[in-house]
Structure 1
């Protein structure tokens, strides 16, 4: 069991794993946590699919929620372009009820390829919203909607980032369907066998996280924000890029980070 990461540490861990992270609105304080609905101790990472198709916006849906289930519905939404949109923090409505036997095995990290098949679900299971970080991943969930390689890699990186920050192994990463007997996500290739996904996360945990060497300036960016996002300083970016005026950078400009 572990104390949840602070919001800043969570975002920093994702970025340190080489992910592009967008913090949406008031994500740091957008939460379902209350005195009667705790957040933590935390034990693992849960992967979901959104059951959405464009033009529906999965980020907005997961941030706001829907009738009968208010948002946030996860901590991060991983869109098909591989961007992680952080929409809430603390307790979020993503896991619902699940099998206590699964929770015990995830805590112990002592199962083989997969945890025991769940026999409980949302109506009769134990509270998972307090125990898991949740990532909703943009996909229709019909088994045919493709999972782009850049998105799958981002999912691996996000899971590895949280595990690395807590010192967990890849056995702390499960799919929603491995938690609850009334869920099917994530569905479709390459998630037919989630043991393969965990193996890829395990391989990533053996390596130092790779960070990007350049960044392309977007509308609204400042050099200070870019430095903070990538764990460097304005002075270092000025020196690396020969920038004469730190207050003047242009959209589309390529910034060397190291």
Structure 2
């Protein structure tokens, strides 16, 4: 469960993943937000358009129909692998679907059969419409499949989701068949593989084994820390590092910590089954004015683990239940791929 990216963040995430992105009109403000909520978001949904021709497909997905106004998705992925952004916010793409499926997506578990249409999917999913007739015969070019993989991975990478957060329309709403022509199981596997590499990775890229790469993540969104509750911070996404790596990292926070109160922080490695390895706790005590605590750690993560950072706040007064606010967070360091 997450707050949707800003439109600018969405555009950046797609381009960072190596996609050619085309901005169509005033896509940032074209949405159906006046008809319902947009967010919290939980996953990515893939569709086929049942159309032929890139220009016509983009136009339909942007404007929609009299009975179903646009935008009909956030991005249109054409056969040449380009992503056309036609709207941002609530879009008419998912419709009503199965609440059991949504719970499985949130938990990143295997999907149950979709046999109900009782939950608003437009609120919870990013949507990509993919140019294809959907008849089982219209081919899916390699460039298009690669773009679908990259687009889904870009969103998942930002939010710290796995490939299990990517679903097809046919897995959400009873009676739907899209996308038709490839399996969502195969696409999820492609997304999972991509998430083990840096953003923008292309198979066959030469990778220097001995040279470290930089960890440089920043986030200026205010984040509240509830007393006595460990809270995972979002620093440009929850996942600070994925894939088998050795790392040295330091989290730098700016927070208003009352004098005498304590802020503790630690890095942890999240495994696919939800278990974790937690690093040593580093403790900082609040002083006059804004505090600038730092928390360091070094270690190694396995190929299927994700590096994250969390903190907990202990007020000087045990009866104090007021949260504090982290106003900015940065993580800096180096990592060596294994």
CA distance in 1, matches of 2:99, 2:76: 26
Q: CA deviation at 1:211?
A: 6.7
1:4-153 to structure 2, matched below 5 A, reads 4-34=4-34, 36-54=35-53, 57-111=56-110, 115-121=111-117, 125-153=118-146
Matched, 1:155 2:148: yes
Distance in 1 of aligned mates of 2:146 and 2:157 = 16
Cα distance change of structure 1 residues 184 and 65 upon mapping to structure 2, 3 Å threshold: same
Give how far 1:56 is off: 6.5
Normalising by structure 1, we get a TM-score of: 0.76
Equivalent in 192, 198, 216 of residue 202 of structure 1: 192
CA distance in 2, matches of 1:13, 1:181: 31
* Of 176, 179, 186, the match for 1:183: 176
CA distance in 2, matches of 1:203, 1:40: 27
Unaligned runs of 5+ in 2: 203-338
Q: Secondary structure of 1:66's match?
A: coil
Where 1:63 maps in the other structure, the secondary structure is helix
Cα distance between partner residues in 2 of 1:54 and 1:153: 19
Distance 1:84 1:61 in 2: 15
CA contact (8 A) 2:52 2:132 kept: yes
Moved more, 48-57 or 81-90: 48-57
CA–CA separation in structure 1 for the residues paired with 2:51 and 2:6: 29
Q: 1:151 to 1:57 in 2, by over 3 A?
A: same
The CA deviation at 1:53 is: 1.2
The answer (yes or no) to whether the contact 2:32–2:90 under 8 Å persists in 1 is yes
Structure with bigger RCO (C-alpha 8 Å, 6+ apart)? 1
Would you say the 8 A contact 2:13–2:154 is kept in 1?
yes
Q: Secondary structure at the match of 2:33?
A: coil
Q: Structure 1 CA distance, aligned partners of 2:143 and 2:166? A: 19
SS in 2 for 1:70: coil
**TM-score, length of structure 2 as denominator length:** 0.58
Q: Secondary structure at the match of 2:29?
A: coil
Say if 1:52 and 1:134 are closer, same or farther in 2 by CA, change over 3 A. same
Question: Which of the pair has more CA radius of gyration?
Answer: 2
After superposition, the C-alpha distances for 1:86-138 in whole angstroms (9 at most, x for unaligned) are 00000000000000000000001022xxx1110023xxx21000000000000
Structure 1: segments with no counterpart, 5+ residues: 213-258
- Kindly indicate whether the alpha-carbon contact (under 8 Å) linking 1:16 and 1:211 is maintained by their aligned counterparts in 2: no
Going from structure 1 to structure 2, the CA distance change for 1:209 and 1:56 (only over 3 Å counts) comes to: closer
Q: Aligned residue for 1:252?
A: none
Rounded Cα–Cα distance in structure 2 between residues aligned with 1:150 and 1:211: 15
Higher helix proportion (structure 1 or 2): 1
- Equivalent residue pairs, number: 202
Report if the CA contact (8 A) 1:99-1:179 is conserved: yes
Alpha-carbon distance, 1:31 to partner: 0.5
Residue 79 of structure 2 aligns to a residue whose secondary structure is: coil
Contact 1:18 1:211 in 2 (8 A): yes
Query: Aligned partners of 1:211, 1:204: CA distance in 2, in Å?
Result: 7
Q: Secondary structure at the match of 1:88?
A: coil
